Amino acid sequence: MVEVRAERASKPRLVATDLDGTLLHTDGTVTARTRAVLTALDDLGVPVVFTTGRPIRWMEALWEEVGGHGLAICSNGGIVYDVAQRAVRTARTIPADVLLDVGAAIRSAIPGSTFALEKTTGFAREHDFMPRLKVNAAPDVPSGTLEEIADDTVVKLLARHEEIGPEDYWRRVEEVVGQRVVPTWSSVGTLVEISAAGVTKASTLASLAAELGAGPQDVIAFGDMPNDLPLLEWAGTSYAMANAHPSVIELADHTAPHHDDDGVATVLDRVFGLSVG
């Protein structure tokens, strides 16, 4: 049964929530109820940090929907973005030599792998990386070999395979890269997202929370996919969505209603006593 009641005596001081499959509905929208809850938390002075695997380029249409202010952790911890200033506040990049070594190791061990890069300056891809997607094949997207497009501004290496199942590929990439980087998976497709060593949503949020004078015991967090696991493990109170990956439901303290039922808003309404309709 889905839990929606608070399990702690004092209220959290910071909210951290994933977006896709968590705060957003399946169609990618933020509902009026969720916006009302976010506004109510803002009025209470409770920071809400959006923690997403999305790159900045996929966030522009959402900023006003989620309040148009505050901070967001993008690219699985690779970037802290100042929403109000529309500027990158900090970036945790993958050293170019490490990126190239990891790419070569993956391609050697798992032939058929192709790569793309999320950078502080935008997106770049290998020629064969999902060219059927218009956003990838746009004329202004730099393309070339991994060696040609790699530099020191990369916050996420994307590895893709067209013939291997998503979780199988993720596990195989994990075996290949070892501790040199952090691979994770948050997609329904075979796309592994790779960050610099030590970079996760959790590690970046921990630094940000410390700046705000908060620790894990002060944080309530929500997520649905394996890239949320470190975040949910770190937070003092964690919720997996009812639609979450089984590994997330197993790890989290509680389960929130389905994301299409405004699960995050439902829990936050009750935890903070907001009485938002």
- CATH number, domain with residue 110: 3.30.1240.10
pLDDT of residue 132: 65
Domain count, the chain: 2
pLDDT of residue 10: 79
Q: What is the CATH number of the domain that holds 75?
A: 3.40.50.1000
Across 197-218, average pLDDT: 95
Residues 100 and 160 in one domain: yes
Strand 219-223 and strand 181-184: the pairing is unpaired
Residues 220 and 88 in one domain: yes
User: pTM of the full predicted structure?
Assistant: 0.87
pLDDT of residue 62: 83
- Domain hosting residue 158, numbered range: 96-196
The Cβ-side half-sphere exposure at 93, using a 13 Å CA radius, reads 17
Whether residue 239 is contained in a domain is answered as yes
Count of CB atoms within 10 A of residue 206's CB?
Answer: 19
d(CA 260, CA 218): 27
pLDDT of residue 138: 64
- pLDDT band for position 275 (50/70/90)? confident
pLDDT of residue 4: 39
Across 199-218, average pLDDT: 95
Is residue 54's pLDDT more than 80? yes
Whether residue 110 is contained in a domain is answered as yes
Whether residue 102 is contained in a domain is answered as yes
